[in-house]
Amino acid sequence: MKSVLTAAGSLRRLRPGRALRSGLPALLPVLLLLASACGDDHLTRFPQTTFAPATEMASEQMWLFHLTMWMGIVVGLLTFGLMGWILWKFRYRPGGPEAQQFHGNTTLEIAWTLLPALIVAVIAVFTVRAIFITQPEPPANALNVRVIGKQWWWEFQYAVGRDTIITANEIHVPVGQPVQLLLESDNVLHSFWVPQMAGKRDLITNRVNRLVFTPREPGVYMGQCAEFCGDSHALMKMRLIAHTPDGFRQWLENEARPAVEPTDSASAVAVGKKLVTQGVCAGCHVIKGTPMVGRTGPVLTHFGRRRTLAAGIMENNAANLHSWIRNAPAVKPGSKMPQLGGDVQNALSDEQISYIVAYLQSLQ
């Protein structure tokens, strides 16, 4: 339904052009296609939007937006309407009567001081209310997730007993349980923003910021960094995946396990494992269950399960993974993962990279 509305909106905007108007019937199939997308994946319906709130906090923020926008529209229409009317009524006409001239009008002056003050007061009351809603005390049953902003990706940590489960770029949460994010940065400023969950909140060095929200519906929600943080700031995206409580428990249990071992020691996966765990990757990445210890890059223990690659900028498939490993900075300018294939010293061959891809994809 939403997509139909959006399409209708863009049609309305097209109206002034004659040529466009006659082209409308041609747009019909597009409209039908959009309408049929309704039952589809949540993501195609709501790419990254503040207008489909999925938590109480996001609803409150949207409500505040609507309140101020509609008040602005009414004030704007009244002001400009009145101005237009006055300009028209008192326009110059040769030989016409001159409008009555006078200085000052106490009633008017009091009215145009009080009325705006009243409007601002109404907005202030609702704003303060919304601010309190965005700063709740963390409930006792909250799920704590540590979020660390990196250049240019996200690390997520879950404490399970004495174990810490670390993953990247896709944050998993259950529905119906408050989530408390503990936002940190060990480099520059970033800002956590998944608009359907909540407004932006900064990740600041030497400080822990909190953000508490309760997802209502399972689904995949888009987000991205909202504070300029260097070259590839615009490529620092993320997905928030809200599960049913059972689905979340299963995800967490799987994440807690060490990486799966190749079943056949002669397979491409096994060759890839050797290249990854004993090669250059080990200096920057961790795969639990192997001797890898590097913490410069994302933890890859269950990388094969991630939907996306390199902070949500592309689908996690063999072709994209291959070009990423071959030359990450070509995909993501400034990337802290260096070029490892092609025309560099000790480059990995394309064949070696395809073994590495096979191993990474096996990490379910």
Interacting span for Cu ion (CB under 5 A) from 57-65, 232-240, 272-280, 334-342: 232-240
**CA–CA dist 100, 168 (Å, integer):** 72
Stretch near ligand HEC under the rule CB under 6 A, chosen from 23-31, 81-89, 211-219, 290-298 = 290-298
Residue 229 makes contact with Cu ion by CB under 5 A: yes
E strands, the chain, in order: 143-150, 153-160, 163-168, 170-174, 179-185, 190-192, 201-203, 209-213, 219-224, 237-243, 308-309, 314-315
Q: Of Cu ion, ligand HEC, none, which one sits near residue 284, judging by CB under 5 to 8 A according to partner kind?
A: ligand HEC
Of residues 216 and 322, the one with the C-beta less far from ligand HEC: 322
C-beta of 224 vs 335, nearer to ligand HEC: 335
355 binds ligand HEC (CB under 6 A): no
Nearest-approach distance from CB 334 to ligand HEC, in angstroms = 8
Q: Answer for the pair 268, 354: CB distance below 8 angstroms, yes or no.
A: yes
Figure out which of the listed residues 303, 327, 358, 363 binds ligand HEC, where binding follows CB under 6 A. Answer: 303
181 binding partner (options Cu ion, ligand HEC, none; Cβ < 5 to 8 Å by kind): none
Is residue 325 a contact point for ligand HEC (CB under 6 A)? yes
Q: How far is the CB of 19 from ligand HEC (least distance, A)?
A: 45
DSSP state of 195: T
List the one residue out of 359, 340, 186, 170 whose CA is nearest residue 274. Answer: 359
Answer yes or no whether residue 55 interacts with ligand HEC by CB under 6 A: no
Contacted entry of ligand HEC, Cu ion, none for residue 175, CB cut-off 5 to 8 Å set by kind? none
Dist CA 288 CA 270 (whole Å): 16
276 near 360, Cβ under 8 Å? yes
Cα angle 169, 185, 179; round to 5: 60
Report DSSP state, residue 199.
-
In angstroms, what is the minimal distance from the CB of 341 to ligand HEC?
9
Q: Which residues of 147-162 are buried (b: 16+ CB within 10 A; e: fewer)?
A: bbbbbbbbbbbbeeee
Q: Which does 364 bind (CB under 5 to 8 A by kind): Cu ion, ligand HEC, none?
A: none
Q: Look at phi and psi of residue 211 and say left if phi exceeds 0, alpha if psi is from -120 to 50, else beta.
A: beta
Instruction: Compute the least distance from the CB of residue 197 to Cu ion, in Å.
Output: 18
Burial letters for 260-292: b for 16+ Cβ neighbours within 10 Å, e otherwise? eebeeeeebbbbbbebbbeeebbebbbbbebeb
Among 352, 114, 108, 145, which Cα is nearest to 240's?
145
Tell me the closest approach of the beta carbon of residue 49 to ligand HEC, in angstroms.
Answer: 24
- 169 binding ligand HEC? (CB under 6 A): yes
State the nearest-atom distance from the C-beta of 152 to Cu ion, in Å: 6
Residue 229 binding partner per list ligand HEC, Cu ion, none, with a CB distance cut-off of 5 to 8 Å that depends on partner kind: Cu ion
Q: Assess 152 for contact with ligand HEC (CB under 6 A).
A: yes
Q: Does 225 bind Cu ion (CB under 5 A)?
A: yes
Of 19-27, 41-49, 84-92, 306-314, the window that binds ligand HEC (rule: CB under 6 A) is: 306-314
Helix (H, G, I), strand (E, B) or coil at 147: strand
Q: Is 148 in the site for ligand HEC (CB under 6 A)?
A: no
Dist CA 219 CA 222 (whole Å)? 10
The contact set with ligand HEC (CB under 6 A) reads 152-153, 168-169, 276, 279-281, 283-285, 296-298, 300, 303, 306, 309-311, 325, 332, 335-338, 340, 356, 360
The contact set with Cu ion (CB under 5 A) reads 190, 225, 229, 233, 236
